[in-house]
Amino acid sequence: MATPPLPPDFAHLVDLAADALGAFVLYATDDYFAEKENLLKPGAAEWREGAYTDKGKWMDGWESQRKREPGHDFAIVRLGAPGRIHGALVDTTHFKGNAPQEVALEGIDAPQTATPAQLLESPDWFEVLPRQAVKPDFQNVVKAAAPSARVTHVRLRIFPDGGVARLRVCGAVVADARTFWRRGSVDLAAVENGGTIAAVSDQFFGPPSNLLLPGRGVNMGDGWETRRRRTPGSDWCVIRLARRGVVERVELDTHYFKGNAPQATLIEALDEEELGADVVQGLLREPKGWPVLLSRTPLVQHRRHQLEPDRPMPVTHLRVHIFPHGGVNRLRVYGVALDSQAEQDALERLNAQEADEASALFLSCCGARAWAETMTALRPFGSLRELFAAAESVWWKLGTTAWLDAFAAHPRIGSSKKGARQSAKSASWSKGEQRQVDAADKAVRAQLQRLNDAYYKKFGFIFIVFATGKSAGEMACLIEERLPRSKRAELETAAVEQMKITRLRLEKWLQSELER
């Protein structure tokens, strides 16, 4: 379902907590009168006169019971897309005598798989919006003094208790950088990757931001639709892509638009890096001066169209024309993301290293000497996508001897001792992977030791697992699951796990370079 419009002050932003993006209310201290899930419902809050449940008045929002002890209530929301928060809409509509007096918002950057228990225990929460008064039965717009750091989850605190109808978290999407380093195409326009609408000619029946939402729209109201044009020309919208890239394919979907689909489309493009931000800003609403990416192409009703650009070109903005007017359900812009300037600089530093220095770096990511030497010899890499693709390709070509060499560089899970060949730098990476083990109780650590001994005795190499986010108990269960397998099957499984570890270490190295 389409996301509702944001307050005018935040019209250029995205509701990071939109249900359509996959936001989810993970936890609430109390939701006795009305369920916490109502906070993220896409529509306006409903009022039902005279409607009661066995707990009290039916309310369309999140409502806790009256507190009878010191403290306050809060709810934790996993955002649909990570990003920097500029403000929030804390809507207390219909909560007149039962709204909170004050609210505050906190944020955290945590794995999407983080459980409520992990989030509640985490010390990493930070203030996004300070504690402040809100009005009852009112759409309270709360602005941040400055955009926050990147967050994946928010904690809405209400003081001391009461009800909130809706929560909209207004911000700019900050996707995982690895999204743009992977093999294959990425949707450069998707809102969850950071695509946004920069300008539009008309949005009478539906905003163009609907074009960038995940999935296929659920009905005709879940797309971009203009009024009926009575003058020559076309309607259009401008999309700022999540990343500068080269477009390979455009998917334009007129699903549900049967009597009001456009007759044709034409797509133009600009490259902000080439023209400059000021020039591009001036061209956003200009009818001429844009290079054509896709020539005028016929469209039909209720169909997902696959369109190929006329030529490859680096682009940052697309202007999508529909002739003469009408509606489009979704738009996908698949292509290859280009490295940012900071990423290019980091890659250039890697390419310029002496062979011994580069080999040591690669060896800290994967303990197989043959892999490190081959990666060193393959330089210079032309892009980060090329670097990560090579890391995987080389690994799988080397085979068993190199795999065992890499395994030998690891400590056993649950052991602080280094492997036979583990370097000091490699050991530093392993500390993070074993954090959950270090926090486990003595009995679990002893179980891991017994299982590791049995595993090594059977297979002749240590148990390898991508341990990030796994508890000691989960890893013990994994060893038990993998012990009955054949040596060949287990060797290949361990190789898969090693490749995950290698990629993560490469990513950590890159992140440290980007933060220089």
- Quick: pLDDT tens for 75-92: 999 999 999 999 999 999
Residue 430: is its pLDDT beyond 80? no
Residue 419: is its pLDDT beyond 50? no
Residue 455: is its pLDDT beyond 90? yes
The number of helix segments (H) and strand segments (E) in the chain equals 13, 22
Q: CA-to-CA distance for 245 and 176, rounded, in angstroms?
A: 16
Predicted local distance difference test score (pLDDT) of residue 442: 84
Residue 510: is its pLDDT beyond 80? yes
Q: Which two tokens stand for residue 292?
A: 């054509």
Q: CA-to-CA distance for 173 and 195, rounded, in angstroms?
A: 8
First-residue to last-residue Cα distance in the chain: 42
Please provide the size of the chain in residues: 516
- Quick: pLDDT tens for 326-358: 999 999 999 999 999 999 999 999 999 999 999
Residue 417: is its pLDDT beyond 80? no
- Quick: pLDDT tens for 285-297: 876 779 999 999 9
Predicted local distance difference test score (pLDDT) of residue 11: 87
Give the CATH number of domain 342-514; options: 1.10.3330.10, 3.30.70.20, 1.10.3720.10, 3.20.20.105: 1.10.3330.10
Residue 37: is its pLDDT beyond 50? yes
- Quick: pLDDT tens for 117-129: 999 999 999 999 9
Residue 412: is its pLDDT beyond 80? no
8 A C-beta contact, residue 177 and residue 201: no
Residue 48: is its pLDDT beyond 80? yes
User: Domain 8-172 carries which CATH code?
Assistant: 2.60.120.260
**Mean pLDDT in residue range 4-33:** 93
**Residue whose C-alpha is closest to residue 108's, from 141, 156, 142, 69:** 156
**Amino acid found at 206:** G
Predicted local distance difference test score (pLDDT) of residue 516: 80
Tell me if domain 177-337 and domain 342-514 are identical in fold: no
- Quick: pLDDT tens for 262-307: 999 999 999 999 889 888 888 888 767 799 999 999 999 999 999 9
- Identify the architecture of domain 177-337 in CATH: Sandwich (2.60)
8 A C-beta contact, residue 459 and residue 490: yes
Q: CA-to-CA distance for 43 and 25, rounded, in angstroms?
A: 16
Residue 365: is its pLDDT beyond 70? yes
Predicted local distance difference test score (pLDDT) of residue 472: 84
pLDDT band at 424 (very low <50, low <70, confident <90, very high): very low
Which are the contacts of 281, defined by CB distance < 8 A and separation ≥ 6?
A: none
94 vs 12, more confident: 94
441 vs 69, more confident: 69
- Quick: pLDDT tens for 166-203: 999 999 999 998 999 988 899 999 999 999 999 999 99
pLDDT band at 422 (very low <50, low <70, confident <90, very high): very low
Domain ranges of the chain: 8-172, 177-337, 342-514
* E strand segments, 309-407: 314-323, 327-328, 330-337
**Mean pLDDT in residue range 228-250:** 96
Residue 427: is its pLDDT beyond 90? no
Predicted local distance difference test score (pLDDT) of residue 438: 61
Angle at 358 (CA atoms; ends 356, 362), nearest 5 degrees: 115
